[in-house]
Amino acid sequence: MYDWNFNVIWDYRMVYMRGALITLELSLLAVVFSMSLGLIVGIARQSKRYILSFPASCYVEIFRDTPLLIQIVWIYYCLPILLGVTLTAFWASTLALSLHMSAYVAEIFRAGIASVDKGHVDAAKILGLNYFQTMTRIILPQVFRRMLPPLVNNFADILKLSALASVIGVYELLHSVDNVIMNNFRPLEMYSVLALVYFVLIFPVAFGARRAELYFARRI
């Protein structure tokens, strides 16, 4: 029978803390970049101009239909060969995670924009508003309430997916704990606490998304 011993966890508490901080830093950067890029791609995909919508659609399909793990490895190892651009493991993971999640964010923005009554857009044109003014003053404020819950859920997904950065040596939570396990040979205890740490990080985000969805559902 396995002899559980959680006392060893206390000796490695700083490993969990440092790993959690790197995980949060990686995830927050990916959220900022994916939101910014996703908004641009989402608007382009909704455009009636083929020169904008087609590349945006290709972008979305490429990053949604290929595994994030392959994207991380490809960016880390292939960019230096193809473009002569060398990124640290942290920034390669940040870039891959941002590109991957921006494809999903783009779909959220596209669906939100498409849900706006065309009469509002026509009214904006009559008032003399240009495309940028229509988007920022009429469309996006209307769809923000609908988009907020799935956008928050994306943040929870990013926190979980950040563990894949361990494959190229980023010392986020998973990789930090893996290194410790090679020394103390306590994988069950270490992974059990690791799961708890992820739960503590992700549950408030997921709970906030559900609350926001219920809150806005009552007001739509």
Question: Mean pLDDT across the stretch 41-69?
Answer: 93
The number of distinct structural domains making up the chain is 1
The answer to the question of residue 121 being in a domain is yes
- Would you state the pLDDT for residue 5? 85
If you search the block for the tokens 């596209």, which residue do you land on?
Answer: 110
The answer to the question of residue 4 being in a domain is no
- Would you state the pLDDT for residue 118? 79
The answer to the question of residue 191 being in a domain is yes
Sorting pLDDT into bands at 50, 70 and 90, what band is 135? confident
Question: Mean pLDDT across the stretch 101-123?
Answer: 86
In the chain, the N- to C-terminal Cα span, in Å, equals 56
- Would you state the pLDDT for residue 33? 97
Rounded CA gap, 20 and 181, in Å? 17
The type of residue at 53 is S
Sorting pLDDT into bands at 50, 70 and 90, what band is 113? confident
The answer to the question of residue 86 being in a domain is yes
- Would you state the pLDDT for residue 190? 94
The answer to the question of residue 108 being in a domain is yes
Scanning the chain, the segments in alpha helix (DSSP H) are: 7-11, 13-46, 50-64, 68-82, 89-114, 118-126, 131-134, 140-161, 173-184, 187-217
The answer to the question of residue 6 being in a domain is no
The answer to the question of residue 7 being in a domain is no
Question: Whole-model pTM?
Answer: 0.88
Give me the chain's average pLDDT, please.
90
- At CA 122, angle to CA 102 and CA 133, rounded to 5? 50
Structural domain boundaries, residue 212: 13-217
- Would you state the pLDDT for residue 219? 65
pLDDT in tens, 142-151: 777 778 888 8
Rounded CA gap, 168 and 174, in Å? 12
Rounded CA gap, 44 and 121, in Å? 17
Cα radius of gyration rounded to whole Å, the chain: 21
DSSP 139-182: IHHHHHHHHHHHHHHHHHHHHHHGGGGGGGT--SHHHHHHHHHH
**1 vs 5 pLDDT, higher one:** 5
pLDDT in tens, 157-179: 999 999 999 999 999 999 999 99
- Would you state the pLDDT for residue 220? 57
| Distances in whole angstroms, Cα of residue 55 to Cα of each of 44, 45, 47, 72 | 8, 8, 11, 22
The answer to the question of residue 2 being in a domain is no
Question: In this structure, what CATH number is given to the domain that contains residue 86?
Answer: 1.10.3720.10
